[in-house]
Structure 1
Amino acid sequence: MTDHGTPAVELRAATRTYGTGERAVTALDRVDARFEPGTFTAVMGPSGSGKSTLLHCAAGLDRLSGGEVVIDGVPVGNLSERALTRLRRSRVGFVFQAFNLVPALTAAQNVALPLRLAGRRPEPGAVTAMLAEVGLAGRERHRPSELSGGQQQRVAIARALVSRPAVLFADEPTGALDAASGAAVLRLLRAAVDHHRQTIVMVTHDPLAAATADRVLFLADGRVFDELPGGAGAERIALRIAHAQHTVVAR
């Protein structure tokens, strides 16, 4: 587990460039960021600001062009693909907007899947307990098609948390949900931080969602543009997003 003095994730001068020459696009431009254990960070910014690139690079799903990512004290830049895959399976959880559940598997089987892929057997009762924790007790045998969108996202959250990762990354986790289901998902994420000291990094376009976090990082043109405490409120967060958008347009 992450030590008190070790960030769950750290980006050091993180740079990601796509293409070469005149066609080169810098999605991340020397970003420095620390995500401490037991904290909930929302990442916001205009379209094309680098939010998803930051998330994918920080999770080890995409390689940096320059700089460094350190996950739970392990620099990932020099890891082989196999070693990086092992690190992701043991120390990283990921929740996607589109749920990404396996249709042929039950809820319980979907939750257990990351452990089985890592060659580990779930502890007796662990999967059932995790589904109960996200409000899905009794739904263990249901397949995704038998669950609502909000319930599917809760299965995805249970799947991401069952290994107790050092960090959980969430990419627009409420984007495909109605307001009530989205609020329920945010409460689950908040509870994971408050009760289990889980570290969460969430990309969102929704100021209300961002307001549930401990802090909000704003990106513009691939750089950290600003930072606010999550308790600043949705209206203030929305104003900062508007400022970021105006800055990008002005450039």
Structure 2
Amino acid sequence: MTTLQTHQAVELWSVTRRYGTGEHSVTALDDVSVKFAPASFTAVMGPSGSGKSTLLHCAAGLDRATGGKVLIDGVDLTPLPEKALTRLRRDRVGFVFQSFNLVAALSAEQNVELPLRLAGRRAAPGQVAAVLAEVGLADRARHRPGELSGGQQQRVAIARALVTGPAVLFADEPTGALDNASSREVLRLLRTAVDRHAQTVVMVTHDPLAAAHADRVLFLADGRIVDELREPSGAEQIAARMAHLETGAEQ
């Protein structure tokens, strides 16, 4: 694996993603170039079908771009065979899903430890307990997902994503299935991961309140980045930009 000199956690260079062929093909991403700096928190927003999830999946190496290239922690994903790509994702990428994706038969601590076990690594003494304590679940280590609330399950998922010390944590609508109080706690944890631990976070969300926790908000439409807000002043500013985009999409 050749490592390129870079100061970015993730880079997309002219990334295009098409599905299907010929006249039935659909372009989900259209020549997108964007960088995500270390210790930054970026929210990705846009109307339905704008390419948000495709951007996330291509950036995370879960989906291969049709054109262009993606670099994670300086490593170009384009030439990697599947085994090497899987290994890089396991070692350098964390992912948090709306649906939690915990293993029902495993306890919270076993779910958190799972990425390490899959990588053939042993957790350092106290490592799993420390990351569970970080998300406020030190007293829930032996509980299985079915014994935890939705908010607690998502916090376990965040702990699982962080335990390997990834170059970047991708979050796909992480508060979409949660109530307001649980959403605030999850967003606080993501913000803390950036501010205290220099974690890079890229989050897809439809919620301006969630996006307001980010340092930067990217707006997508028709597979392209069409707007950007740095250091947003609040949810109202973000909602106004989204309303403008959605109005334009309907015209």
Match of residue 61 from structure 2 = 60
Q: Is the 8 A contact 2:95 2:170 kept in 1?
A: yes
Match of residue 152 from structure 2 = 151
Q: Percent identity?
A: 72
Q: Is the 8 A contact 2:151 2:183 kept in 1?
A: yes
Q: Distance in 2 between matches of 1:83 and 1:236?
A: 42
Q: Does 1:111 align with 2:117?
A: no
Q: Is the 8 A contact 2:112 2:163 kept in 1?
A: yes
Q: Which amino acid is the alignment partner of residue 100 of structure 2? A: F
Match of residue 205 from structure 1 = 206
Match of residue 242 from structure 2 = 241
Match of residue 162 from structure 2 = 161
Structure 2: stretches of 5+ with no match in the other structure: none
Q: Distance in 2 between matches of 1:96 and 1:39?
A: 19
Change in 2 beyond 3 A, CA 1:141/1:152: same
Q: Does 1:7 align with 2:3?
A: no
Q: Is the 8 A contact 1:69 1:76 kept in 2?
A: yes
| Post-superposition offset of 1:231 | 2.8
| Post-superposition offset of 1:21 | 1.2
TM-score scaled by length of structure 1? 0.97
- Structure 1 window deviating more from structure 2 (166-175 vs 221-230): it is 221-230
| Post-superposition offset of 1:232 | 2.3
Structure 1: stretches of 5+ with no match in the other structure: none
Q: State the number of aligned residues.
A: 249
Q: Does 1:187 align with 2:198?
A: no
Q: Distance in 1 between matches of 2:201 and 2:26?
A: 28
Q: Is the 8 A contact 1:210 1:230 kept in 2?
A: no
Match of residue 136 from structure 2 = 135
Deviations 1:23-68 (A, max 9, x none): 1100000001000000000000000000000000000000000000
Q: Is the 8 A contact 1:212 1:230 kept in 2?
A: no
Q: Distance in 2 between matches of 1:107 and 1:47?
A: 33
Q: Is the 8 A contact 1:14 1:66 kept in 2?
A: yes
Q: Which amino acid is the alignment partner of residue 54 of structure 1? A: L
Q: Is the 8 A contact 1:4 1:37 kept in 2?
A: no
| Post-superposition offset of 1:230 | 3.8
Q: Is the 8 A contact 2:4 2:75 kept in 1?
A: no
* Local SS of the residue matching 1:124: coil
Q: Distance in 1 between matches of 2:6 and 2:64?
A: 25
TM-score scaled by length of structure 2? 0.97
Q: Is the 8 A contact 1:169 1:200 kept in 2?
A: yes
Q: Which amino acid is the alignment partner of residue 113 of structure 1? A: L
Q: Distance in 1 between matches of 2:232 and 2:130?
A: 31
Q: Does 1:26 align with 2:11?
A: no
Q: Distance in 1 between matches of 2:82 and 2:153?
A: 29
* Local SS of the residue matching 2:122: coil
Q: Distance in 2 between matches of 1:246 and 1:100?
A: 34
Match of residue 82 from structure 1 = 83
Deviations 1:215-243 (A, max 9, x none): 00000000001000243211111111111
Deviations 1:130-162 (A, max 9, x none): 000000012110000000000000000000000
Q: Is the 8 A contact 2:135 2:189 kept in 1?
A: yes
Q: Distance in 2 between matches of 1:247 and 1:37?
A: 33
Match of residue 216 from structure 1 = 217
Q: Does 1:225 align with 2:222?
A: no
Q: Distance in 1 between matches of 2:46 and 2:67?
A: 22
Q: Does 1:126 align with 2:104?
A: no
Match of residue 174 from structure 1 = 175
